[in-house]
Amino acid sequence: MSSPFPKVAVLVTVLAAGCGPNPSGSTGRAQRARPTATPVLRVCSDPNNLPFSNERQQGFENELASMIARQLGARVEYTWWAQRRGFFRNTLNAGRCDVVMGVPTSFELSWTTRPYYRSTYVFVTRRARNLKIRSFDDPQLHKLTVGVQLIGDDGANTPPAHALAARGIVRNVRGYPVYGDYSQPNPPARIIDAVAKGDIDVAVAWGPMAGYFASREPAALSITPVSPQVDLPFLPFVFDIGMGVRRGDTARRDWLNRFIEEHGREIGRLLSRYGVPTV
């Protein structure tokens, strides 16, 4: 697979016989190939956002970046930046990197590749309670304490929060900021911790995060995809995720699309190891 990555392609110059003078001044002799320094894959990631990424490179997006780098014969060079408002403005679009590893394919601030996975919001409950909640129309949700994720300091709502509010389920709902206390490790995990501790009865959370942390809680938790995938008239709970590149970076996007197509099974096994629910 050829590479469009300027810093990743290994550039070799060979002066063939008759093409020009060599350093000693003689002509007609081939010169020894001189490869560049180790090529680089520049990635922007959050340093504290498992299961996606962290500074110790323990997330599945870190592993995926390493997979791509191996294909290119390169090393990964990270720019670390908290993934919240201003992330793309200060990283990819500021030229600090060339790829962001996880971006919804409908995203407007960058070009995106084809999806390498599709995941969903899920219900998280303690297995011992056998609640079996699959839908926002389940009458149990009017009585249980329900945790939902909120985005931003202004309490912007995620799709599950909208779905609950549309059904009048408000007073028994608790919000957990996606960003959380960034001074603590894995701030998004607090909503899953709350289910395991019994602080809330059920959480509605983004699947990759929920699946990863639920498997690491001391209490056995159940993960159930939200059904249906779209709450009419149009409130989706399922999203396609690809990689982000700068607008106009056609060659890089096309190369990554080929990589995703050719390594789909390997990527699928990676996601499975991290407990990512795919649909």
> What is the mean predicted confidence (pLDDT) over 41-61?
97
* More confident site: 124 or 28: 124
Burial label, 278 (beta-carbon count in 10 A; 0-12, 13-18, 19+): middle
pLDDT computed for residue 7 by the predictor? 46
**For the chain, which residues make up each domain, given as ranges?**
40-117+240-273, 119-238
Pairing of the two strands 117-126 and 75-80: unpaired
CATH number 3.30.390.50 is the correct assignment for the domain at 40-117+240-273: no
- Its pTM stands at 0.85
> What is the mean predicted confidence (pLDDT) over 53-67?
98
Residue found by looking up tokens 């407990």 in the block: 275
Q: Which CATH superfamily is domain 119-238 in?
A: Periplasmic binding protein-like II (3.40.190.10)
Please check whether the two domains, 40-117+240-273 and 119-238, share a CATH topology: yes
pLDDT for residue 224 is more than 60: yes
What does the radius of gyration of the chain's CA atoms come to, in whole angstroms?
23
